[in-house]
Structure 1
């Protein structure tokens, strides 16, 4: 639930909390759903870790009236066809490859969103309720529940946004298959001696953003946006303390006649300790490209382009369709 969705947003290093205004707002800031004029569908696909993991997303949103809207979305991040070799050796100590099976591990996130605009005001707000489902083959599974809240407001030519994630702390309750666990208990001395914890929690986080769109005279514009991503604990973020740690992100989007979009961004600023104990500041640059025609928008993003390992590059594709084109 922390990776992000929509190639357009990822191409701008996720710096979209203040100005998001489409079906993807259910993830970034549900207040942005107010910007939808009619029903809208969005989908995305990405592969991670040299195509080992698959990341898929789909969303639908629709206005209720002039002052409110709703949306629903689903995320799946999974690794399929993992070899289960826990039973490779039989009771007599013989290696039997027929005893190898396959399993999948996947995380699912289902989000239900509602947004409303205050009358006679530039302020709008939104809330999310989330259901989290995690499955590790036949070994373990969990259910989790949480809530988000966000606001957006405009002042002069500036957009501002605040997104509070997991505001009540999100809890995942695990169910461990003890029969499967007992098959591997004690296989490696000193490991897997006790059942894992059955409760997993996700602490609250906050994102504050601001953006400004600069229009030029030749039917082009430049959107400049920034985020401050905050965690209320000590991390390796570039600004870190025991009270709050802050990771900034900056994004740019150049638009030509609402048809072609070129994007770039940089974020994930971290204090990195090298093998020789020297320190440096790490960051993640992203780029993207988009095309829009008659309510159909196709976007592409290439993330983590500064990493020296090609296996860590991620090619992300997304599609957004305004359903009004079918009327």
Structure 2
């Protein structure tokens, strides 16, 4: 029943679009990867420096010392949807590195009942089929050190593939660019511009199958859904600082300002842009065990009495690292602390120096 409802919701998103191109798309690319980062509420733009930097800020890839592989899995909406990530990165030389990552966010085994009733009006359950709706994002990353000491840059080229069974599919392409700078006294700064070219998705819709579901007939009773989606640019500005106590204990504090060029419910909002902060902390012991916490997704939610209530999303996480193997866990969600279901996120990272 849950999957059937989600199927209806997915199709309603297509049906409900108006004459203009859809301005919000590819939100699955904004969820984030790596349980370590999610445990810090994604406030990692300034200091990310492993294989997952290909997602968070490709400039951080230049800090790789060897090839790395990362895997992540999480489930959302009471395990209806699955979110998976795999990433691989390697240094080219002492000044540059490359990376490749794949993200899949999908719902599988959805019941297709469009053929349930045959031409004679009889119900035939053998005519029920299963299909999947899935979003894919493939990212190619390149990073390089600049002649200025401590300054690095990175670029992402993204290919987007979205599929709703045999009913509709889309292709998209976009670019990201990031910068990192490491200053004195263990201060680090980062800047990440996502979808700087404004990513476009072009949909191909099977009009015959779509009309079977919605009853829409182009030119008669309803227009077909708009076939173009636009992903507007977003900026992430970050800063972080680390401390060492008694040689064995470390503390990392990080802050992000996430900027979207649209009026939203973010804590700072205008017709030009909206800004939401994110705070993250990581406490480590001998580079072996880590405890993480973060606050993010600050929103001004409108209440029934027209008043506004500030909400936020707390995240927690733990990690274990030993001889090139790192296992992380985060307790997080993709909404706020009062409305969304929390998810358990697991990730694994392997440093190939382990095998040398």
Q: Same fold (TM over 0.5)?
A: yes
2:327 aligns with: 298
Shift in Å, 1:308: 4.9
Which of 228, 236, 240 is the aligned partner of 2:265? 236
1:318 aligns with: 347
1: distance between equivalents of 2:239 and 2:313?
Answer: 20
Q: Secondary structure at the match of 1:125?
A: strand
Which of 7, 11, 15 is the aligned partner of 2:43? 15
Number of aligned residue pairs: 324
Q: Secondary structure at the match of 2:277?
A: strand
Shift in Å, 1:155: 1.5
1:51 aligns with: 79
- Please give the residue correspondences for 1:118-137 in structure 2 after superposition, counting only pairs within 5 Å: 118-137=146-165
2: distance between equivalents of 1:274 and 1:106?
Answer: 34
**Structure 1: which 5+ runs fail to align?**
none
TM-score, normalising length: structure 1: 0.95
1:78 aligns with: 106
- Please give the residue correspondences for 1:268-279 in structure 2 after superposition, counting only pairs within 5 Å: 268-279=297-308
2: distance between equivalents of 1:164 and 1:192?
Answer: 42
The answer to whether the 8 A contact 1:130-1:145 is kept is yes
User: Does residue 1:224 correspond to 2:265, yes or no?
Assistant: no
- Please give the residue correspondences for 1:195-214 in structure 2 after superposition, counting only pairs within 5 Å: 195-214=224-243
Q: Secondary structure at the match of 2:268?
A: coil
1: distance between equivalents of 2:352 and 2:315?
Answer: 30
Shift in Å, 1:39: 0.3
Shift in Å, 1:196: 1.0
Shift in Å, 1:192: 8.3
Cα distance change on mapping 1:123 and 1:218 into 2, 3 Å = closer
The answer to whether the 8 A contact 2:311-2:336 is kept is no
TM-score, normalising length: structure 2: 0.88
* 1:150-174 Cα shifts (integer Å, max 9, x gaps): 0000111210000000000001111
Shift in Å, 1:297: 0.2
The answer to whether the 8 A contact 1:185-1:193 is kept is no
1:62 aligns with: 90
Cα distance change on mapping 1:231 and 1:183 into 2, 3 Å = same
Which of 300, 313, 323 is the aligned partner of 1:284? 313
Higher strand share: 1
The answer to whether the 8 A contact 1:162-1:206 is kept is yes
Shift in Å, 1:306: 6.9
The answer to whether the 8 A contact 1:39-1:322 is kept is yes
**Structure 2: which 5+ runs fail to align?**
1-28
The answer to whether the 8 A contact 2:216-2:222 is kept is no
RMSD, matched Cα: 1.8
User: Does residue 1:108 correspond to 2:136, yes or no?
Assistant: yes
1:141 aligns with: 169
Q: Secondary structure at the match of 1:312?
A: coil
Shift in Å, 1:187: 7.3
